[in-house]
A and B are shown apart, each in its own frame.
Chain A
């Protein structure tokens, strides 16, 4: 694998992580991390959708008229999401119920649209799929970390297997109920970002708190483009 391909795959893991640096795709990241199993399933679903949508869009990139490109992208993404959702419902009904609407919400996950619009439209199929895979893995990394912490401290288990024996069953561990509630996800990701930025100082934001211009203008561009292509 040559250097630029490796860069496309590995850069989004830590140095350019979609969640902690680009603020993309947070919604699902927070909602499905109460247990490691749901976090893993969600990671798998998103990585699959992201890799294949990048590949398909990249293969079609010379045939998509600019003015309708966002509609085309959303259609490709939502078809893939519907497929993943149907597969989950067919083979893992329980899991599909626990993830509820969040698998469907991959459609509006900004990571997917961000990568297809920002990368796959300009690069060849192989690079685009690697970039999709890399961003999917970067997303998965954060999800799995948060999932491990929340399940371990919230119910003393990992993937349903008891790790810390609970006080209720004669062990020593008193589970932290807060870890299973929504606020803990926000707090954990906040702390994770703090830790990461203390380690990688280049990611620290300037203290003036300027508009996070890049992210905002990116989302706006996507929204504007969508509006124009609808017109």
Chain B
């Protein structure tokens, strides 16, 4: 039940895009149409669901204090190397994922392949791993958190794309065209998500 609560929290309450502002560059650049937003969202869920648990293993078995005690080095603490390792893991996972998709799932690759390289330098992905370390999640928790936070981000980007498709026909002041208006729309969406902050399961 705790895991389920964590999952729902990661989607609605701790939404990476709308409460922590992560991945906003991609969020604004790739939310013109619902179709592309869906592709991007699916890619984020996939990458986030893989990299957070993998980085969890890296963190607990290679970096954390005491991880090397089996080798007679109980006081070695490599957490300061974390950042470089996490980003390396993310880049590698993205790369492998792209090759696997291209080889075995060409249709899937056509929908989300374009976005995979983008995600290697997306701060929502790195942020997910860093939050996992900061909050000291176990392996099972990190799996639920990874998928949940990916779903939350995907949900936000698809909703924003839907709103922006309709807004194309709105008559707004010149200075607000494009970026300015998107910011204000995202602000209002974020306000809406605040209303979900009281959801508690279990």
Q: Judge if A195 is at the interface, Cβ distance under 8 Å.
A: yes
Q: Judge if B41 is at the interface, Cβ distance under 8 Å.
A: no
Within 8 A of A (CB), among B55-87: 80-81, 83-84, 87
Evaluate contact between A223 and B175: CB separation under 8 angstroms: no
Min CB gap A221→B, angstroms: 10
Evaluate contact between B87 and A31: CB separation under 8 angstroms: no
Q: Judge if A104 is at the interface, Cβ distance under 8 Å.
A: yes
Q: Judge if B112 is at the interface, Cβ distance under 8 Å.
A: no
Evaluate contact between B173 and A183: CB separation under 8 angstroms: no
Evaluate contact between A82 and B84: CB separation under 8 angstroms: yes
Q: Judge if B3 is at the interface, Cβ distance under 8 Å.
A: no
Residues of A within 8 A of B95 (CB): 227, 230-231
Q: Is the interface of B mostly helix, strand, loop or mixed?
A: helix
Evaluate contact between B177 and A209: CB separation under 8 angstroms: yes
Q: Judge if B131 is at the interface, Cβ distance under 8 Å.
A: yes
Task: Count A/B pairs, Cβ under 8 Å.
Answer: 171
- The interface of chain B, by Cβ under 8 A from chain A, is 18-26, 28-30, 32, 80-81, 83-84, 87, 91-92, 94-95, 98, 114, 116-123, 126-127, 130-131, 134, 164, 168, 173-184, 186-188, 190-191, 194
- The interface of chain A, by Cβ under 8 A from chain B, is 20, 23-31, 71, 74-75, 78-79, 81-82, 85-86, 100-101, 104-105, 107-110, 113, 181-187, 189-191, 193-198, 201, 204-207, 209, 211-212, 215-216, 219-220, 222-224, 226-227, 230-231
- The contact sample of 26 A-B pairs, CB cut-off 8 A, is A20-B179, A23-B29, A26-B21, A26-B28, A27-B21, A30-B21, A75-B84, A85-B83, A107-B87, A108-B123, A108-B126, A113-B121, A182-B190, A185-B21, A193-B176, A198-B174, A207-B177, A209-B164, A215-B29, A219-B29, A220-B117, A223-B119, A223-B121, A226-B117, A227-B95, A227-B98
